[in-house]
Amino acid sequence: MTDFTWSLSTWLLVVDWVVRLASLLWIPARTNPAAARSWLLLIAFVPLLGLPLYLLFGHPWLSRERIRRQALASQVIREQQAPLRHLRWTPGGDGADAEMVPLVEQLGDFMPTHGNAIELLDDYDASLRALIDDIDRARQRVHLLYYLMFDDAVGDAIAAALKRAAARGVQCRLLLDAVGAKRGLRRYAAELRLAGVQVHDLLPGGLRWRRSGRMDLRNHRKVAVIDNDAAYVGSQNLATAEFVPGFPNRELVARVRGPAVAHLEAVFASDWFIETGERLEVAPTAPVQHADVAAQLLPSGPAYPFANARDTVNALIHLAKRRLVLVTPYFVPDDATLSALRIAALSGVETQLILSASNNQRLTAWAQESYFEELLASGVKIALYRPRFLHAKHLSVDDGMALVGSINLDIRSFALNAEIGLLCYDRGVVARMREIEASYLADADSVSLAAWKDRPAWRRSREGFARLMDFLM
């Protein structure tokens, strides 16, 4: 018995050190440095638990077929834009917009277009009513792509609108994330299919996840396209504001008309193709009379060769000259983004970060607090919005550029999720966004450096632990 115990202990010790050494050679070559350090630390403490967790969650891999289909979709998008040069918008001069346009086009495939009308909708219920009204006016097609659809009053209303549209002969398609919209799929998928609506789940889990990619990769986009007339993009899901008890949401959605509608349709068609293998036709959209907003679409996600969202956000931060405002519910930046914010503030740019005072992700809330002292010391202003859970995701640069969509300023949005952003090169859109930002600040508490330094030591420890865990990706 003693010999067996001794040999088992020796065997476990050997395995323990083999795991540690193999991880030291393997993980840094496949993971970014910050995440690699966190994973190696975890494996050093608990090798037999840390390694399986890394194999499941440590590397944002997708199946080769999904990457191939994304590359093909990108190629088709670029080819179909070639004959539409009359819709291209060209920046005047050599300002910041002239630097952003080629970068975003290289990263996300879409050229900037003129002749768009962009309406920023800040009222939660009103934006949903506008979407349902547009669905009820549809005559050709309704395409909805959402991360979350809940089985609540809003889910009921959207499902009813889709069934009414399908009964009129409108082609209706619904793409929902398999995890985020699990409750909506369970509640509505069967009845919608019976009504003639095509419903598909994105990145399905269970036994099918191996054909998709890493288990926690998600499609976080929120896009609606109605006919060739109107589209919606932003942070709002298909659920009531109170779908998370105790955290009623405040959102920002852009209602789009003009050539950018076809680009949002192309994003839907790309996701439909990646999921089903079926290619949808996308018709160009004419410019809107009496409106001339220049807009450019940025899809991002792990199927692209570069970190589209992160690179675009960092470029916008670096290009700010006077004022920069960033709004996000989840703020866990990588080193590049943190450095960009610090440099902007130290360079004299008025840099304002607006976060939510309440947060439905406790670990993320603690992690983001770990960055406050460094940012405040650099001159970044931090405000915590009180009345609701501020789930909106947008930023504005000086007086001429604004980005709105589903992109959070965290590692998950930058590296793991499929996201969507709409970049507007327009003073009117920025002015409207400034009004919305001002309404946030009117109901927010400013964080001071002196007060923040006085927080208890146990909070510092909690923040450091949460920051470390959030890099385990």
Residues 334-366 have pLDDT tens digits of 989 999 999 999 999 999 999 999 998 888 899
Question: What mean pLDDT is predicted for residues 129-149?
Answer: 98
Both structure tokens of 123: 């009222």
3-state SS record for 219-274: ECCEEEEECCCEEEEECCCECCCCCCCCCCEECCEEEEECCHHHHHHHHHHHHHHH
Both structure tokens of 228: 């060739």
Per the CB < 8 A criterion, the answer to whether 233 and 404 are in contact is yes
174: CB partners within 8 A, 6+ apart: 144, 162, 192, 197, 198, 199, 200
Cα–Cα dist 13/398, whole Å: 59
Do residues 105 and 8 both lie within one domain? no
Cα–Cα dist 324/468, whole Å: 28
Do residues 203 and 154 both lie within one domain? yes
Cα distances (angstroms) measured from residue 422 to each of 4, 302, 407, 457: 64, 18, 10, 41
What's residue 159's pLDDT? 98
CATH number for the domain including 280?
3.30.870.10
Residue 181 lies in a domain: yes
Do residues 257 and 320 both lie within one domain? no
Do residues 386 and 345 both lie within one domain? yes
* Number of other residues whose CB lies within 10 A of the CB of residue 55: 10
Instruction: Name the band, by pLDDT with cuts 50, 70 and 90, for residue 293.
Output: very high
Do residues 328 and 429 both lie within one domain? yes
Residue 229 has pLDDT above 80, yes or no: yes
Cα–Cα dist 279/270, whole Å: 8
Residue 472 has pLDDT above 60, yes or no: no
More confident residue, 27 or 104: 104
Do residues 367 and 423 both lie within one domain? yes
Do residues 93 and 200 both lie within one domain? yes
Residue 232 lies in a domain: yes
Residue 176 has pLDDT above 50, yes or no: yes
100: CB partners within 8 A, 6+ apart: 296, 312, 315, 316, 319, 401, 423, 425
Residue 303 lies in a domain: no
User: Which helix H or strand E contains 390, and what residues bound it?
Assistant: strand 389-390
Do residues 99 and 235 both lie within one domain? yes
Residue 207 has pLDDT above 60, yes or no: no
CB burial readout 306-323, b (16+ within 10 A) else e: ebbbbbbbbbbbbbbeeb
Do residues 294 and 327 both lie within one domain? no
Per the CB < 8 A criterion, the answer to whether 310 and 337 are in contact is yes
3-state helix, strand, coil split of the chain in percent (to 5) is 50, 20, 30
Nearest residue to 145 via CA among 174, 181, 118: 174
Question: What mean pLDDT is predicted for residues 147-159?
Answer: 97
Residue 401 lies in a domain: yes
- Which of 83-92, 128-137, 226-235 is predicted least confidently? 83-92
Structural domain tally of the chain? 3
Residue 446 lies in a domain: yes
Do residues 240 and 294 both lie within one domain? yes
Return the percentage of the chain with pLDDT > 70, whole number. Answer: 92
Residue 190 has pLDDT above 50, yes or no: yes
Question: What mean pLDDT is predicted for residues 186-208?
Answer: 89
Burial class from Cβ neighbours inside 10 Å (0-12, 13-18, 19+) for residue 167 reads exposed
What's residue 10's pLDDT? 75
Counting every residue, how long is the chain? 473
Residue 387 lies in a domain: yes
Give, to the nearest 10 degrees, the angle between helix 96-108 and helix 308-319: 180
Residue 28 lies in a domain: yes
Cα–Cα dist 216/56, whole Å: 9
- Which of 89-103, 176-190, 209-223, 298-312 is predicted least confidently? 209-223
What's residue 216's pLDDT? 76
Query: Phi and psi (nearest 5°) for 62?
Result: -120, 160
Per the CB < 8 A criterion, the answer to whether 123 and 250 are in contact is no
Do residues 460 and 345 both lie within one domain? yes
Strands annotated E in 301-387: 323-327, 331-332, 350-356, 381-385
Residue-wise pLDDT tens digits, 388-398: 999 999 999 99
Domain coverage including residue 11: 2-57
Q: Most distant CA pair in the chain: distance in Å?
A: 88
Instruction: Give the number of C-alpha atoms closer than 13 A to the C-alpha of residue 375, restricted to the C-beta side.
Output: 24
Cα–Cα dist 360/376, whole Å: 24
3-state secondary structure of 398: coil
Cα–Cα dist 83/199, whole Å: 32
What's residue 1's pLDDT? 47
Do residues 51 and 81 both lie within one domain? no
More confident residue, 30 or 218: 218
Residue 17 has pLDDT above 90, yes or no: no
What's residue 48's pLDDT? 72
Last residue of a domain, one of 250, 266, 298: 298
Q: What is the mean pLDDT of the chain?
A: 91
DSSP character at residue 416: I
What's residue 4's pLDDT? 52
3-state secondary structure of 196: coil
Last residue of a domain, one of 251, 266, 298: 298
More confident residue, 436 or 211: 436
Residue 403 lies in a domain: yes
Last residue of a domain, one of 275, 298, 321: 298
